[in-house]
Each structure stands twice: as C-alpha cells, then as structure tokens.
Amino acid sequence: MTEVATGPSTEIEELQTKGINVIRALGLDGPRAADSGHQGTAMALAPLAHVLFTRILTYDAADPAWPDRDRFILSAGHASILHYSMLYLTGQGLELDDLRQFRQWESRTPGHPEAGHTPGIEVTTGPLGQGLANGVGMAATERYLRSSFGEELCDHYTYVIAGDGCLSEGVSHEAGSLAGHLGLGRLIVVYDDNHVTIDGPTELSLSDDAATRFESYGWHVDRIGEVANDLDALTGALERAKAVTDRPSLVVLRSHIGYPSPTLTDDPSTHGLAFDEDDIAAAKTVMGLPADETFWVPDDVLELYREAGRRGRQAREDWEARLAASAKRSLWHTGWERSPTFDVDAVARSFEPGQKLATRKASQACVTAIADANENVIGGSADLTGNTGTKIDDLIQGPASGAGRQIYFGVREHAMGAFLVGAAKHGGVVPFGGTFLVFADYMRPAVRLAAMSEAKCVFVWTHDSVGVGEDGPTHQPVEQLMSLRAIPGLRVIRPGDAVETAGAWKLAMDGDGPTALILSRQDLPVLDSTDAASVAMGAYPVVDAPDPDLILIGTGSELAVCVEAGARLSAAGIATRVVSMPCWEAFEARPAEERHAVIDPSVPRISLEAGVTLGWERYADTCLGVDRFGASAPGSVVLDELGMNVDNVLLAAEELLGRRVRDGTDRPADRRS
C-alpha cells in the first residue's frame, strides 16, 4: 500500500508523492492567483487524478482528440484547476502560464471546463450532474460504435468524477437509472463522497444512501472507503470496475476536502477560495514543498507526467494501423467526418400540395429517410416515440445489445438532453431525441450546454402551441419557443408545413452545433409555394408582391393562416407579400441587404405566431400571438379563440394601414395581440 501522506519508501514512490503534492499545490495557487475558484476538492482528489492519468486512462497527449481514447469527465467541474493541472503536466496542450491565467479574460483555463475551448476537455461541465449524464451518452455511443465496428476500432471506457452535488441533482437520478437499464459496462463513475456542500456538511440536507440507490438502478457499486491517498487501493478499485462488463460502476470514495492542510482539512469553506497565504504556506510545508514559491513544478515531476502522457502513443499508432487496414475504414471516416445526408428533394416531393399532415408526422418521414441512408444517426424519445415521430426501424439499444440505433429514454427528458450532448461530443454519431415542446423546460440546462459546447444534436420538440388543445395550458407551450430562440448558438426551426420540415432536417444535418425542430401536433396543409431548400435562408417569400403594401410573416401552423389572409388582402387591392420565417438564426446570418429584400423595414409588417410576441418587434410593426396561457378545449377552438385566425390578421391590417378590407359581418369583438 502506497500512503501518499506518510512518506513512501522507494524512489519511485517518493517521486509519485512529490508529483501528487505538486498537483495539490497547483490546486492552491491557481485559484489564489485568480482570487476566485475552488481549492479543496483539487487537493483531496490529486491522488485519484494521478492514478487516472498515469495508470488507468488510455490516451496520447500528442493527440488529445484520438477517437479511441478513454473519455474523462470532471462532472464536479468546479474543481477545474485539477483537470487543467493534469492537462498541463501530461502535455496535452496547456502551459504553466495557462494555469497562472486561471479564470482570466480569454485564458484557456476558464472557471469551469469548456469543451472546444481547452484541449483535452471532453464536455462542458459545471452545472452539477450534467457531466455524469453526458457520460451516459458517451458510454452508450462507444458501445454502439463497438457493436458496429468491432473492438479493433472502438474499445474504450468513459470515466467520470462526480461529487455530492452531482448525485443530488435530479438529472443524475434520471441518467443513473437509464445507464443501469442499458447495462453500460464501460461507464465508471467515481463518487467523491467528501460530506461537504457550500452550506456546510452534507448532513444538513442529505440522509439518503447514494450507493444503495445506484445499486437499485442496477449498477455495480464498490464502497472503497477511506483510501483517497492510497494509490494501490484506488488503482485496484478502478481495475475491478473495468472488469465489470454488464453494468456501469460506481466507486464510492470517502475523501477529505482540503487534505493535507493542517488548518482547513474537512472545512466546508475549502469548497471555495478558503486558503489565504498563510494557510497555503502551512499546507505546502506539510507537503514538503517550497512554501514561498507559486506554480512550482520541478523537472522530475514534469517528466513523470510527460512520460505518462506519452504512454498511449503506441496504442494510438496501433489503432491507426488497424483503421488503415480495416474494410470498414471508409464507413468509419464517414461517421466521424461527414454530415448525414439524405435525398431531401425526394422526401419533399412525397408531400402533395393540399395534403394535410402534421409536421411531426412529416418529420417521421425525414427520420426514416435519414436513418436508412446513414448508420451514424441514433436517437429516440422520452416515452413519446410515436407521438414525436422519432422511430427508427432498427434494433433497440437495450440491456442485451448496444447495436441498436433506436433508444427508448423513458420519462427522462433531462437525462435525454444531456445524453444527446455526451453522444455528440463523443463523436461518430449524430444523435436526436424527441418530446413535447412544453417539456423543453425540463431539458433546458442540457440544451444550454449543447449550444455552449456546439454539440451537434437535434432536439425534436412537437405539440408546439396551444393547438395541443384538450390537455390544457399545462401542456400548451406559449413562452418556450421564444425562450429557446434566446439561447445563443441554438438553431431553432419551426417549419410551416411538411415540405419545410424536410428542409429543416436538411439544415440540421448540414449545420454545426445543436438544432431545435419545433413541430405541430395538428395537421397542416401542404402549401404549393413552400420550398425545402429555402428553409436554409431563414425567411423567404411564399407569396410575393414586388412592391408590397403589406408584409405578413408567419411560422409553423400560422403560415397557412397568413397565406389565406394575404389572398384576402390582395383581393381587396392591398399588395401583400407573405413571408415564411422558419429560422430566425439562419435569417440573421444573412447580409442586411438580403434580409431587407425579404422583410423590407419600410413596409408595414404583421407577424403571426402561436406563442408570446416578445421579440417579434424586431421584424414587425404589429405582433399577433398568445401573450397568456392557453385553455382546455379542442385545439382548433383554442387557436381561434386566441386570435390565430384570418379575421384577426385582417383586422390588424386594417388598423395598421388605416384601410377597410372586410365587410361588417366578420369583425371580431376585438383583436387578439
């Protein structure tokens, strides 16, 4: 047994002890220099990080993005200085100056790990529990690719460090249950059971037994206890977890936050920036390090970890040789490097003008075409597969097999969202998941991180308005659509009919980052003037007038209403352009002159959308929508009562233009805004 704190007896043990204490010191110095951050967890888990990066993880520091590397996720992302220290020490692209710039403007070491910003960071973590749930998506993706390509091309593990906060958050319960059901044997989570939260000891708010809970989910649970400084015990526990192939593993480690500080060990304040200069000097003295030096990394320690970073080079080169010789290499490269393709024109032509079809049903036709043409598309729904059009005619991913592309997430919307992010950031697949739009609220933390990390996944949200009907306002989204548009980096598409739905899927497959598809429950007419390719423009005329007196802008189910209202207005002598605007983000990416050619700001404009009107003022003079919660009644009745009809558009046009366009028999009691 190698007890780091008590002084090892051999030269290599002495060097390991020194290295671990250097990691601890960096965990003190980085936050102290920033005057911000979390010190205690990085100190306590330094031995675990040492074991992972020198004995367990398969990776090559020279190629942090090697596809068959083991994945490491710090779900307890507040301890980011620990991860950054290991990336620097093992030579994965960070330098010591990056640690000195911890949490500073434009540094590569932000307060919480950010995928795509810092080399070696797999997913963006910080909101607790997200990394653990991302790990479920990564592990499921690894199993699917291993089933498809064999262990010669895909053979790796996903390791997660989670804390009390991660296991307290609801997403960990959803994700843990799903992972146990799927039997993800290559998912290994180390639970840092340090009994500390920001408010104080965990006993203030926790009395459940997390280990027993995960056992009930079907996990292999190993309670290793008070061995946070025992390198051999840590190694043994992780190796035992690797040997369990039929279920995920939870290794429960009792650590002591702030160890080995003589003044602050087990002090809840060390969850944050607790150590002043005297406390740091005292801790460094106990560890045998220079008390008056910061960011001290001696050459022998740096070489110890740089050698560990080179340890996986041969494994990577062997893998590259196997890939080059594999009959499946072309398919492998397609999955990792190319966007899924499908014959969007053929799908769009299958929808006949005048046909009535819900866009969720049109979406199912697109999913079928995409899945038939691309093996790297996986997905499903949170217990609403048929309702949301997310069925793949393929094997089901389940306890017995990882070969299936159809995933049944169960009633676990939040975990589904985080799963998609993890699967996308793993690479090799483009994942999608569906539920009702109102339940996007349950998924928002994962959706936000998908946008932040540019995870290429597709959120399929159906039943998109008060047209849901009889289920009432609890299930009728009004504010969700606009709130999703407020998320930077999320492409939100609300197609107006089946043809535009095909174009929406094409834009989602072609684009980078996440996409939200907003689809109707109710049938909508297939219009004769919509165009799948034009969806990528964000907005385009479906009924044009070269010199319009009025522009009507509609999305989704309201596009057909705008087309009918436009015909009435044109018949009354008001030249009306009707614009479909399925994607604000794509429209805003176009040059101003192109945008103004479609929506001329000098022409009176009316928008119509069955959701809150907040935000539409940037495009319209009069914004018609639903600035209240809905009601329980047939969907067509609710839409009509809330003003999503032709008469309301005509009345708004009269008020905006100061011209009468209707006879007196069809005037509503009042205009709904």
- How far is 558 from 430, CA to CA, in rounded Å? 30
- How far is 657 from 292, CA to CA, in rounded Å? 76
The per-residue pLDDT for range 234-250, each reduced to its tens digit, is 999 999 999 999 999 99
208 has a pLDDT exceeding 70: yes
Long-range Cβ contacts of 326-330 (<8 Å, 24+ apart):
326/149, 326/152, 326/153, 328/149, 328/150, 328/153
The per-residue pLDDT for range 41-73, each reduced to its tens digit, is 999 999 999 999 999 999 999 999 999 999 999
The per-residue pLDDT for range 65-101, each reduced to its tens digit, is 999 999 999 999 999 999 999 999 999 999 999 999 9
The per-residue pLDDT for range 533-545, each reduced to its tens digit, is 999 999 999 999 9
332 has a pLDDT exceeding 90: yes
According to DSSP, the β-strands at 576-580 and 540-543 are antiparallel
CATH number of 344-525: 3.40.50.970, 3.30.460.80, 2.170.120.12, 2.70.98.10? 3.40.50.970
Residue ranges of the chain that CATH labels 3.40.50.970: 4-315, 344-525
**What's the chain's average pLDDT?**
96
What pLDDT score does 661 carry? 80
Query: Is residue 382 within 8 Å of residue 411, measured between CB atoms?
Result: yes
Question: Measured between alpha carbons, how far is residue 566 from residues 290, 542, 572, 592 in Å?
Answer: 78, 11, 10, 25
Closest C-alpha among 231, 169, 230, 166 to residue 192: 166
Q: What is the mean pLDDT of residues 249-262?
A: 97
Q: What is the mean pLDDT of residues 393-403?
A: 91
Q: Is the peptide bond before 260 cis (omega within 30 degrees of 0)?
A: yes
Q: Which two tokens stand for residue 612?
A: 């809150």
2 has a pLDDT exceeding 80: no
Which residues are identified as catalytic? Answer: 413
The confidence band for 7, taking pLDDT boundaries of 50, 70 and 90, is very low
What burial class does residue 546 get, using C-beta atoms within 10 Å of its C-beta: 0-12 exposed, 13-18 middle, 19+ buried?
exposed
Q: Which two tokens stand for residue 45?
A: 């888990």
What pLDDT score does 6 carry? 42
For 189-219, b/e burial (b = at least 16 CB within 10 A) is bbbbbbbbbeeeebeeeeeeebbebbeebbb
Q: What are phi and psi of 189, to 5 degrees?
A: -110, 125
1 has a pLDDT exceeding 60: no
The confidence band for 401, taking pLDDT boundaries of 50, 70 and 90, is confident
Does domain 538-666 fall under CATH 3.90.1720.10? My reply is no
Within 13 Å of residue 613, how many CA atoms lie on the same side as its CB?
20
The per-residue pLDDT for range 457-510, each reduced to its tens digit, is 999 999 999 999 999 999 999 999 999 999 999 999 999 999 999 999 999 999
Query: Is residue 109 within 8 Å of residue 118, measured between CB atoms?
Result: yes
Q: What percent of the chain has pLDDT over 70?
A: 97
Q: What percent of the chain has pLDDT over 90?
A: 95
19 has a pLDDT exceeding 80: yes
Q: What is the mean pLDDT of residues 520-526?
A: 98
What pLDDT score does 646 carry? 98
What pLDDT score does 673 carry? 58
The per-residue pLDDT for range 573-613, each reduced to its tens digit, is 999 999 999 999 999 999 999 999 999 999 999 999 999 99
Is the entire prediction scored with pTM above 0.85?
yes
In sequence order, what are the residues at sequence separation of 6 or more whose Cβ sits closer than 8 angstroms to the Cβ of residue 104? 34
Q: Which two tokens stand for residue 16?
A: 């390991």
Closest C-alpha among 402, 440, 445, 425 to residue 146: 402
- How far is 420 from 424, CA to CA, in rounded Å? 6
Radius of gyration of the chain measured on its C-alpha atoms: 28
Q: What is the mean pLDDT of residues 249-260?
A: 98
Q: For residue 107, is it left (φ>0), alpha (ψ between -120 and 50) or beta?
A: beta
What pLDDT score does 125 carry? 98
Q: For residue 513, is it left (φ>0), alpha (ψ between -120 and 50) or beta?
A: left
The per-residue pLDDT for range 168-200, each reduced to its tens digit, is 999 999 999 999 999 999 999 999 999 999 999
Q: Which two tokens stand for residue 672?
A: 């709904």
- How far is 131 from 166, CA to CA, in rounded Å? 8
- How far is 466 from 462, CA to CA, in rounded Å? 12
Range scoring the smallest mean pLDDT among 197-201, 319-323, 632-636:
197-201
Helix-then-strand count for the chain, H and E:
26, 20
617 has a pLDDT exceeding 60: yes
The confidence band for 4, taking pLDDT boundaries of 50, 70 and 90, is very low
Q: Which two tokens stand for residue 151?
A: 């262990």
What pLDDT score does 385 carry? 97
The per-residue pLDDT for range 351-376, each reduced to its tens digit, is 999 999 999 999 999 999 999 999 99
What burial class does residue 6 get, using C-beta atoms within 10 Å of its C-beta: 0-12 exposed, 13-18 middle, 19+ buried?
exposed
Range scoring the smallest mean pLDDT among 193-202, 406-415, 549-558:
193-202
Is residue 55 helix, strand or coil?
A: helix
4-315 falls under which CATH superfamily?
Answer: Thiamin diphosphate (ThDP)-binding fold, Pyr/PP domains (3.40.50.970)
